[in-house]
Amino acid sequence: MITLKEAVTKSDLKKFVSFPFSLYKDSPYWVPPIVNDELETFNKEKNPAFKDADAWFFLAYKGNEIVGRVAAIINKIEINRQKVSKMRFGWFDFIDDSAVSEALLKKVEEIGREHTLEFMEGPVGFSNLDKVGVLTEGFDHIGTMITWYNHPYYASHFEKLGFVKEKEYMENKFPFSNADPKFFMKVNDLIKKRYGVKAINFTSTKEVMPMADKMFDLFNETYSVLSSFVPITDIQKEYFKKKYISFINPEYIKFIVDKEDKLIAFGIVMPSFSEALQKAKGKLFPFGIFHLLKAKKHSKDVIFYLIGVHPEYQNKGITAVMFNEYYKTFKEKGIDTCIRTPELEDNIAIKQIWKHFDPVIHKRRRTYRKNLG
C-alpha cells in the first residue's frame, strides 16, 4: 500500500530533499546537492520563482518508509503569457516499484486536471536554469551539480505508464587538447576587424555584477526561440546573481561587446564541483566548504554552463572571439576536460558552435509527456 503525503513543513521538506541520499547511497556517480540550498529552492519566501509559480511537494510512503518523491509545478508565465498549457513535474525519484512511480505521477496528473491543463511534462524545474531530464544513457559517468542523476530503471517506468518522449538532450565532453589555437587566433582577428567587437575579461566578481542584468537580458533573447523556454524575470535576476555569479570564478565569465559597448555574447563556465560535492555529503560545514573552495581553485575539469549570442550575431563567428579568451584562461589553469550541459538534440546552432572540438556524446536524457485531455 502506497500512501502520499504533501511536504509542507520544514521537517517534511527536509525529508523530501534527503530522500535521494538513501536512494543513491551506494552510487559512485550520483552528486548530492547542498541540503540547505535545495531547501531554499523550495522556500516560497526566498525563491522568486514562486512569484510566478505554484508548487506542491509529495512524498510516497510504504508503511513508515519513504520510497519516492515528486514536485508538481505550475508556471503561470508559461500558461498565461505563452499559452502553453503545461503541468510541470520534477525532483522525481523513486524505488524500482511501479506502484510508487504511478502513485506520484497520478498525483501530478490530478493537479493538472484540476487546473484544466492540457499535458504534463517532466522531469523539469521551475525555469530553464533548473535541472532537466531523466538520464537514459551514461549511467557510468559522474553527474554534475547542474544535472539530475537517476537509476537506469526510471525510463521504463515512464513508458509503462503511457508517457512518450517529449524532448531529447545530449551531454558532450572533449579534452581541452582538442582545441586548436591556430583556428581561434585566425578567426578571432578576422571577426574583431569585421565587426569591431572586443572581449571583456574579469578578475573579480565585483566587476561582473554591474553587467549581470544585461547578460540575463541577452539570455532571454538568445533562447526565446527554443521550445519550453520561460524568460527570467527581473526579480529572478537578482536571485540568480546572488546565488550563482558569486559562486563562479570571475575569470570563467567572458563577455563580448560591439563597437558601442553593447553586450552581444557571453559565456559562463564553472569548475567541476562533482567530487567536492560528493565529499561534502550535502553539508557546507564544517568541511564541505573547504572541498568546494579547493575545487573552485584547482579543478582541472570545467563545465560550459551557458553561452548566449545575440540573434543578429549568430552564425557570424562571434564565439571564436570568446573561445580564444577561454583558450588562454584554460591553458593558464591547466584544464584537462571540457564538459557541456544538456543541450536539445534539435538545437542546430549550438552544434555548429562546438563542431571544431570533436566532442563525444557521453550522456543522453529526455523529458516525458502525457496528455491530460
Query: Same structural domain for residues 83 and 188?
Result: no
Query: Same structural domain for residues 109 and 182?
Result: no
Domain CATH for 243: 3.40.630.30
Domain carrying residue 121: 2-171
Separation between Cα atoms, residue 367 and residue 88, nearest integer Å: 10
End-to-end CA distance of the chain: 28
Query: Same structural domain for residues 182 and 206?
Result: yes
Query: Same structural domain for residues 183 and 159?
Result: no
Of 142, 171, 200, which one is at a domain's C-terminal end? 171
> Which range among 140-144, 245-249, 290-294, 346-350 shows the weakest confidence by mean pLDDT?
346-350
Domain count, the chain: 2
pLDDT at 351 exceeding the cut of 90: no
Separation between Cα atoms, residue 264 and residue 41, nearest integer Å: 30
Query: Same structural domain for residues 56 and 125?
Result: yes
* Predicted pLDDT at 227: 65
* Predicted pLDDT at 32: 98
Residue 258 domain flag: yes
Residue 199 domain flag: yes
Segments of the chain assigned E as strands: 2-6, 53-62, 65-75, 86-94, 119-122, 134-137, 164-175, 198-200, 253-257, 263-271, 301-309, 337-340, 343-344, 360-371
* Predicted pLDDT at 66: 98
Query: Same structural domain for residues 25 and 130?
Result: yes
pLDDT at 323 exceeding the cut of 70: yes
Cell of 97: 516499484
pLDDT at 141 exceeding the cut of 80: yes
Residues 6+ apart with CB under 8 A from 275: 142, 291, 295
Q: What share of the chain has pLDDT > 70, as a percent? A: 99
pLDDT at 161 exceeding the cut of 90: yes
Instruction: Kindly calculate the radius of gyration of the chain based on its CA atoms and give it in whole angstroms.
Output: 21
Residue 91 domain flag: yes
Separation between Cα atoms, residue 327 and residue 18, nearest integer Å: 39
**211, exposed or middle or buried, with CB in 10 Å at 0-12, 13-18, 19+?**
middle
pLDDT at 180 exceeding the cut of 90: no
Name residue, grid cell 558532450: 172
pLDDT at 303 exceeding the cut of 80: yes
Q: Helical H runs in 244-287?
A: 274-280
Residue 256 has φ and ψ, to the nearest 5°, of -120, 130
Of 130, 147, 171, which one is at a domain's C-terminal end? 171
**Cross-strand pairs, 56:** 72
Residue 58 domain flag: yes
* Predicted pLDDT at 19: 98
Q: What predicted TM-score, i.e. pTM, was given to this entire model?
A: 0.94
Query: Same structural domain for residues 101 and 211?
Result: no
Question: If you average pLDDT over residues 229-243, what whole number do you get?
Answer: 86
* Predicted pLDDT at 117: 98
Closest residue by Cα to residue 132 from 74, 91, 72, 73: 91
Residue 256 domain flag: yes
**354: confidence class by pLDDT, cuts 50, 70, 90:** confident
Separation between Cα atoms, residue 275 and residue 144, nearest integer Å: 9
Query: Same structural domain for residues 151 and 187?
Result: no
* Predicted pLDDT at 229: 81
Query: Same structural domain for residues 342 and 230?
Result: yes
pLDDT, tens digit (0-9, with 9 covering 90-100), for 71-123: 999 999 999 988 999 999 999 999 999 999 999 999 999 999 999 999 999 99
Query: Same structural domain for residues 89 and 167?
Result: yes
Query: Same structural domain for residues 163 and 212?
Result: no
Residue 370 domain flag: no
Residue 132 domain flag: yes
Separation between Cα atoms, residue 156 and residue 154, nearest integer Å: 6
Separation between Cα atoms, residue 169 and residue 151, nearest integer Å: 17
User: Which is higher by pLDDT, 156 or 226?
Assistant: 156
pLDDT, tens digit (0-9, with 9 covering 90-100), for 4-55: 999 999 999 999 999 999 999 999 999 999 999 999 999 999 999 999 999 9
Question: If you average pLDDT over residues 160-173, what whole number do you get?
Answer: 97
Closest residue by Cα to residue 95 from 126, 120, 59, 71: 59
pLDDT at 184 exceeding the cut of 90: no
* Predicted pLDDT at 226: 72
Our measurement of the distance from residue 44's CA atom to the centroid of its chain's CA atoms, rounded to an integer in Å, reads: 20
Of 171, 198, 214, which one is at a domain's C-terminal end? 171
Query: Same structural domain for residues 220 and 356?
Result: yes
**225: confidence class by pLDDT, cuts 50, 70, 90:** confident
User: Which is higher by pLDDT, 348 or 220?
Assistant: 220
* Predicted pLDDT at 348: 78
Closest residue by Cα to residue 128 from 342, 360, 284, 369: 342
Residue 372 domain flag: no
